[in-house]
Amino acid sequence: MKKTAIGCGVILALGMIVVLVAVGSYNRLVRLSQATNSQWAQVQNVYQRRADLVPNLVATVSGAANFEKSTLTEITAARASVGQVKMDPNNAPADAAKLAEFEKAQGALSSALSRLLVVSERYPELKASANFRDLQAQLEGTENRISVERGRFNDAVQAYDTAIQSFPALLYAGSLGFTAKPYFAAVTGAEKPPQVQFDFNKPAPAKP
């Protein structure tokens, strides 16, 4: 009788340990998932800040005499394409293809902005405009912020994805809706913000 009671006590204690470990592991997954969502919101914020700069930048640049209309059309179209990619601002994407679509649209806007600023350097009245210089500085800061927040998002996703593939979470994560999240693709030079200052008096560097 006494041995039976001891055995039941041991089993109960082990059961409590298992429950506590499972609860702790589950709570950790929740925290890591929320961290990815929070960081995704930051990514969305900085991209939106850049999109908000575009109308003022285009309006300022279009005031220059004989400014290339094709450049303005390109950047306006690129900004519109970004707006067509609908992403949940509160939940980190779980679909790699959707994130790739988002990246592609944002990349097209980055390229269009870079070309617009290159062309703008050919107009002395723009270079002398305090408003243009202020917008240019804001854009440079925003591009740097985008790079930082993308990196932080990837770090948050890495921590989350590692957790759901580790024991004991791998035993139940999928059944509870904890699935792997995709990363932003790493590209050469992504750790550096795009340069928005150009010197047309110097020859372009030779490509490697």
The pTM (predicted TM-score) of the whole model is: 0.80
pLDDT in tens, the chain (208 residues): 666 766 666 677 666 666 666 677 899 999 999 999 999 999 999 999 999 999 999 999 888 878 888 989 999 999 999 999 999 999 999 999 999 999 999 999 999 999 998 988 888 888 889 999 999 999 999 999 999 999 999 999 999 999 999 988 998 899 999 999 999 986 544 444 444 443 334 443 443 4
Nearest to 142 by CA among 175, 106, 187, 89: 106
Which pairs with CB-CB distance under 8 Å and at least 24 residues apart come from 170-175?
A: 172/22, 172/26, 173/29
What pLDDT shows up at residue 206?
44
What pLDDT shows up at residue 188?
46
The domains of the chain, with CATH numbers, are 31-176 (1.20.1440.20)
What CA–CA distances, in Å, run from 4 to 1, 12, 16, 17, 18?
A: 5, 12, 18, 20, 21
φ, ψ of residue 182 in degrees (nearest 5) = -80, 160
Query: How many CA atoms are closer than 13 Å to the CA of 135, on its beta-carbon side?
Result: 23
Q: How far apart are CA 138 and CA 54, in angstroms?
A: 11
What pLDDT shows up at residue 2?
61
